Structures are given as C-alpha cells and as structure tokens.
C-alpha cells in the first residue's frame, strides 16, 4: 500500500470511518421511517434504539471495534430522552443540533488560536505529532482544512434550526439526512485533497 493510501485511510478512520457512519447514522433513518409509518414517537424511538443495539452486537460478533456502535447507542438514548420527555418527535434532533453547535464552536476557536483540530487529531496519526506547529505551510494546511468543518457544522445549524422551530418533523428529518452523510463525505474529501496537496509531514523519530 502506498504512503498516500495509508495516510488517506488514517484520515478517514480519524473522521469516523465507514462503519462509524453506519452505526451513528442509520438509526436516525429508522426513526424517521418508523415515525412516518406509525405516527408514534415511542415506537420510532424503540426501533432506532433496537437497531443501535443490534449493530453493537453485530460488531462484537465480528470482533470489530464497538466504539462507534456504543457511541451510536448512547446518541440514540440521548435523542430518545429529549423526544420522549416532550412527546414531540422534532425534539429527537435537539442533541444533533447541539452537537453541531459544540463541534463547530470548538473547531472555530481552535482555528482562531492556532491549534486547528485536524492538526491535533491527525498529526500524531500521520507520525508528525505536533511538529506542524513549527511548519507555517503545514499549519496553514490544517487550518484551511479545519475551516471546511466549521462551515459544515454551522451550515447544518443555520438550515435545520429554523425547520426545528417550525415543528415540521418530516422536513427536519429529511434535511438532517441530506446534510448528514453527503456533507460529511464532501468535507472529508475536501480535507483529504488539502492534506494530499500540502507539504509532506515530517515524521518524528522514535
């Protein structure tokens, strides 16, 4: 495997990986579908939670990492708490909005203070640790890539929060899905293009 491919895989895995996307995203699809069919918030919640648990068990059987599966289960439980407490299906998406706000804020502040999150996460994975801090070109590369994620997180909030306030759960769920995987893949691909075309990482000797 070439160095480029190895680095690409490290970047993809650091951003969640394909399995992580499935474990964290598919239960939301099930929630929306079941709610549309049953019109029952609790039924939709139980269906999403059941799928999350099944995915976690499947990962255990396959001896895969269950990190994302466990995160998915916890995420569904938190979303379920909000929706169940109010009885409003739209509230299932409150934690997702808060998560985007939290991540977006962290990425934004980190960029402004010169510690881009992508550099903090990917630096050690790519073998350079934090030496990129002393390489202006490498640092600019991580800052530039991190702005993509700032834009993604805040664009989700800007579009979805007004829909949440309107109470249109079907539109909110659909837009949430449309701005989920597609935007994530676009941001991940943009990140990889920037890193691939940037200056090479200087590996830190053991």
Domain locations along the chain: 3-197
| Alpha carbon distances (Å) from 123 to 102, 193, 204 | 22, 16, 10
The pTM assigned to this predicted structure is: 0.82
Number of Cα atoms under 13 Å in the Cβ half of residue 154 = 11
**How far apart are the C-alpha atoms of 150 and 102, rounded to whole Å?**
10
* Digit-coded pLDDT (tens) for 38-83: 888 889 889 988 988 888 888 788 777 667 677 778 888 899 899 8
| Residue ranges in the chain modelled with pLDDT below 70 | 1-21, 23, 65-66, 68, 205-206
**Gyration radius (Cα) of the chain, Å:** 19
Which tokens sit at 153? 């997180």
* pLDDT for the residue numbered 137: 94
Give the pLDDT score at 5.
59
User: How far is residue 102's CA from residue 84's CA, in Å, rounded to a whole number?
Assistant: 23
**What pLDDT was estimated at residue 15?**
59
**Per-residue pLDDT, 136:** 93
């Amino acid at each position: 495997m070439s160095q480029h491919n190895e680095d690409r895989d490290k970047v993809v895995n650091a951003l969640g990986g394909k399995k992580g996307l499935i474990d964290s995203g598919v239960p939301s699809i099930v929630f929306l579908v079941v709610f549309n069919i049953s019109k029952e918030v609790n039924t939709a919640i139980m269906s999403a939670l059941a799928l999350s648990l099944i995915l976690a068990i499947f990962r255990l059987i396959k001896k895969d990492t269950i990190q994302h599966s466990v995160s998915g289960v916890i995420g569904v439980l938190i979303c379920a708490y909000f929706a169940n407490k109010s009885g409003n299906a739209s509230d299932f998406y409150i934690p997702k909005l808060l998560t985007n706000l939290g991540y977006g804020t962290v990425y934004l502040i980190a960029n402004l203070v010169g510690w881009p999150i992508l550099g903090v996460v990917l630096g050690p994975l790519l073998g350079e640790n934090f030496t990129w801090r002393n390489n202006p070109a490498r640092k600019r590369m991580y800052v530039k890539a991190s702005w993509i994620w700032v834009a993604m997180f805040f664009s989700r909030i800007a579009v979805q929060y007004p829909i949440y306030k309107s109470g249109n759960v079907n539109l909110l769920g659909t837009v949430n899905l449309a701005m989920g995987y597609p935007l994530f893949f676009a941001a991940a691909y943009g990140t990889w293009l920037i890193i691939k075309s940037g200056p090479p990482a200087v590996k830190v000797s053991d």
